[in-house]
A and B are shown apart, each in its own frame.
Chain A
Amino acid sequence: MHMLVCGGTGCHASAGEMLFENLKKEVQENNLQDEVQVIATGCFGFCEKGPIVKVIPDNTFYVQVEPKDAKELIAEHAIKGRVIKRLLYIDPVKKEQIPDSKHMGFYKKQLRIALRNCGMIDPENIDEYLAADGYEAMGKVLLEMKPDAVIQEIIDSGLRGRGGGGFPTGVKWQIASKNHADQKYVVCNADEGDPGAFMDRSILEGDPHCVLEAMVINGFSIGATKGLIYIRAEYPLAIKRLKIAIDQARNYGLLGTDILGSGFDFDVEIRYGAGAFVCGEETALIRSMEGERGEPTFKPPFPAQSGYLGKPTNVNNVETYANIPVIINKGAKWFASIGTEKSKGTKVFALAGKINNVGLIEVPMGITLREVIFEIGGGIQGGKKFKAVQTGGPSGGCLTEKHLDTPIDFDNLLAVGSMMGSGGMIVMDEDDCMVAVAKFYLDFTVEESCGKCSPCRVGNKRLYEQLDLITKGKATEKDLDKLRNLSYVIRDTSLCGLGQTSPNPVLSTLDNFREEYLAHTNEHRCPAGVCKDLIRYEVIAENCVGCTACARNCPVNCISGERKQVHVIDQSLCIKCNACLEKCKFNAIAVI
């Protein structure tokens, strides 16, 4: 028998470690070492009810187990084989006890659709994909369906573009299908540019065939015979696996002429990007593929009318494509049954920042930020206080505690001043300064602006300079209004999505953390202790034992003091590198 004790950080915080030790002790005392093995596991994703103990092989699932329960668990469950009813999970709806985890699917908050094969199959072996129903949706579409029926199926599914904008995918296909031309193109946008987002890379690395399959389906439904994948050269592994996948599919005749005897021809080529953020915007992406500068163009004409080489072109994101074969196989109705009223299906998020379970997750639309951060994500690192979560990358905004219970979907996130974006989610704790965060994103935007239109090229630079002054304590409260007005101008007058959304990090932090901005402008103080010009390091005399650790580690030798004497920091020389604070074992250095 195995007893699995959750060793995730969330459960650790609620005395899971002591429970683990107690269980081991009980096993020893009862001489059960050969029969019962106590194991600490990773996070179960059910931290709210931790600590958790799962017993296998019978799959009994105990919740909120305290260290003192160890004795009973061993005496009752391990020795006598009796389930301890009071520790079972009680279904909040049915008010019934759930004895085993097989019946509590709802504790599994994640549902993997786009990531269905990621981490399950060998991405370099087409046979494994075929065994997992691969290319069957394509076969069904090519041989049993009419193009219009395919498009209708995608419209009915309610699938919306996963790259950020959330435009209905089926409608996009429909527009492209209605424009007639001698040649049309299907483009997969794999120019994933948001800092911290890596879902497209993971899909291409873990399940490249699903994207190829979806592109054939897309081509058939709009009448395109050529597919292009625009991928950044910084993704060498994804490129390598895509190439292997394309070769294998060609060898099997799943790409090429007369696919599966249907008479339909389709082939895919890879185009490389140099890693410019703006090239994720579809018109800039198309320009870049044509060998022009990666700059956006006016819409209309939309790519569906005049795209790559002036021909009707449909551009979809990697994750959007990853959903297509499943929708065809399982039906639009099934897909539409998942998610919220206007956002169907699931979304992949890349959890990053000050969160315990950094990683890739896929959740149904409508899940709350709280569930994502505190249950699946296992809460904040080091037990610190949650401050904000940034969604949507440089185009999104920072959400706070009051938004934690907002169901996540395209429209709700827009309504609270952020956006879904491609699904990056960066969690911040009390040690993060929101002005500095806004400045970080603006720094990124300034770097990545293509320079074609002045609101974005000049405006973002000015926004950055304003934020820089604030973090240096050289701005006044009045400047905050200027900041806001400039943000509105950039948002309303920029040519493409990059400029239209770049002020979002500023606006959302101004709205949600005005106090923090005011502390910088009025009191010249950075409450989080991040902005270097507004903080200083001081020795707390009563805590200092004179161990000299700070002085020895100071890179600029600005700390002086005799052994066993209180040390002093020379403020004129200090570069605020934080080394002294990290080295001090006596809490004798403070940021003021």
Chain B
Amino acid sequence: MTKIKSLADLKKMKSSLQSQVALREKSDNPEGRILVRVGMGTSGIASGAKQVMEFLIDELEKRNVDAIVTQTGDMGYSYAEPTVEVTLPGQEPIVFGDVDQKKADDIIEKYIKNGELLDGIIPQNYETIDKK
């Protein structure tokens, strides 16, 4: 791994990483990839997030869906763990709560493939800071 040796290096690295992320998430281009994040904090894992994540990784591959599955921390919705956030290219992220294997299956078949929403999505009820 290369060392970051100066602030200029750090900024350069950030913008290249950001453009990678932007390409992945925000672009309207149909080639953009689907991003799936699984909430893997302690409460998520305790409610079965690991199994859900494995299922999603395996099944998305089997069903030929080009998606990136990553883990993330606790989203804060302890009452609805495990939680999974799906970002389709060019769309706002959607958070699904109480995701078990069956629901993960629905997420792939209904939402990811057809854009149909499912019962039990969690509306974003917080504001974020614009980073700068």
For chain B, the count of residues having a C-beta within 8 Å of the partner chain is 53
* Given known contacts A45-B125, A131-B21, A143-B7, A119 and B39 CB-to-CB distance under 8 angstroms: yes
Asked if B132 is at the interface (CB within 8 A of a chain A CB), the reply is yes
Inter-chain contact A202/B73, CB cutoff 8 Å: yes
Residues of A within 8 A of B97 (CB): 42
How far does the alpha carbon of A116 sit from the alpha carbon of B128 in the complex, in Å?
Answer: 7
Inter-chain contact A108/B125, CB cutoff 8 Å: yes
How far does the alpha carbon of A410 sit from the alpha carbon of B39 in the complex, in Å?
Answer: 31
Asked if B70 is at the interface (CB within 8 A of a chain A CB), the reply is yes
Inter-chain contact B75/A119, CB cutoff 8 Å: yes
Residues of A within 8 A of B3 (CB): 251-253
Inter-chain contact A39/B118, CB cutoff 8 Å: yes
How far does the alpha carbon of A112 sit from the alpha carbon of B132 in the complex, in Å?
Answer: 14
| Binding site secondary structure of chain A | mixed
* Given known contacts A119-B72, A133-B14, A237 and B117 CB-to-CB distance under 8 angstroms: no
Inter-chain contact B17/A40, CB cutoff 8 Å: no
Within 8 A of B (CB), among A318-372: 326, 329-330, 356-362
Residues of A within 8 A of B14 (CB): 130-131, 133-134, 136
Asked if A485 is at the interface (CB within 8 A of a chain B CB), the reply is no
Inter-chain contact B74/A260, CB cutoff 8 Å: no
Inter-chain contact A356/B79, CB cutoff 8 Å: yes
* Given known contacts A121-B72, A206-B72, A356-B79, A111 and B4 CB-to-CB distance under 8 angstroms: no
Asked if B64 is at the interface (CB within 8 A of a chain A CB), the reply is no
Asked if A13 is at the interface (CB within 8 A of a chain B CB), the reply is no
What residue in chain B is nearest A206 (Cβ atoms)? B73
Asked if B62 is at the interface (CB within 8 A of a chain A CB), the reply is no
Return the contact of A7 from the options B2, B116, B120 (Cβ within 8 A): B120
Inter-chain contact A42/B80, CB cutoff 8 Å: yes
Residues of A within 8 A of B79 (CB): 356-359
Asked if A385 is at the interface (CB within 8 A of a chain B CB), the reply is no
Inter-chain contact A39/B73, CB cutoff 8 Å: no
What residue in chain B is nearest A351 (Cβ atoms)? B78
Return the contact of B76 from the options A40, A356, A361 (Cβ within 8 A): A361
Residues of B within 8 A of A108 (CB): 124-127
Give the distance to chain A from B22, nearest Cβ to Cβ, in Å. Answer: 9
Return the contact of B122 from the options A42, A144, A356 (Cβ within 8 A): A42
How far does the alpha carbon of A41 sit from the alpha carbon of B20 in the complex, in Å?
Answer: 32
Residues of B within 8 A of A135 (CB): 10
Asked if A151 is at the interface (CB within 8 A of a chain B CB), the reply is no
Inter-chain contact B4/A254, CB cutoff 8 Å: yes
Asked if A442 is at the interface (CB within 8 A of a chain B CB), the reply is no
Within 8 A of A (CB), among B8-48: 9-11, 13-14, 17-18, 20-21, 37, 39-43, 45
Inter-chain contact A205/B17, CB cutoff 8 Å: no
Inter-chain contact A105/B72, CB cutoff 8 Å: no
Inter-chain contact B128/A39, CB cutoff 8 Å: no
Inter-chain contact A326/B129, CB cutoff 8 Å: yes
Residues of B within 8 A of A356 (CB): 79
Asked if A91 is at the interface (CB within 8 A of a chain B CB), the reply is no
How far does the alpha carbon of A463 sit from the alpha carbon of B126 in the complex, in Å?
Answer: 42
Inter-chain contact B73/A123, CB cutoff 8 Å: yes
How far does the alpha carbon of A261 sit from the alpha carbon of B125 in the complex, in Å?
Answer: 41
Inter-chain contact A39/B129, CB cutoff 8 Å: no
How far does the alpha carbon of A439 sit from the alpha carbon of B20 in the complex, in Å?
Answer: 55
B-facing mask of A186-211, CB < 8 A → 1, else 0?
00000000000010011101110000
Inter-chain contact B10/A130, CB cutoff 8 Å: yes
* Given known contacts A7-B120, A39-B117, A237-B41, A133 and B75 CB-to-CB distance under 8 angstroms: no
Return the contact of A110 from the options B17, B20, B122, B125 (Cβ within 8 A): B125
Give the distance to chain A from B106, nearest Cβ to Cβ, in Å. Answer: 12
Inter-chain contact B76/A131, CB cutoff 8 Å: no
How far does the alpha carbon of A40 sit from the alpha carbon of B123 in the complex, in Å?
Answer: 11
How far does the alpha carbon of A261 sit from the alpha carbon of B17 in the complex, in Å?
Answer: 21
Within 8 A of A (CB), among B74-100: 74-80, 83, 85, 97
Within 8 A of B (CB), among A420-464: none
Residues of A within 8 A of B125 (CB): 43-46, 107-110, 376
Pick from B5, B11, B73, B79 the residue with the most CB of A within 10 Å: B73
Give the distance to chain B from A379, nearest Cβ to Cβ, in Å. Answer: 12
Return the contact of B70 from the options A122, A144, A361 (Cβ within 8 A): A122
Inter-chain contact B129/A205, CB cutoff 8 Å: no
Asked if A85 is at the interface (CB within 8 A of a chain B CB), the reply is no
Which B residues are closer than 8 A to A by beta carbons? 1-7, 9-11, 13-14, 17-18, 20-21, 37, 39-43, 45, 70-80, 83, 85, 97, 116-129, 131-132
Given contacts A110-B127, A130-B14, 9 further A-B contacts (CB under 8 A): A42-B123, A43-B125, A54-B123, A107-B125, A108-B127, A116-B131, A122-B70, A131-B20, A361-B126
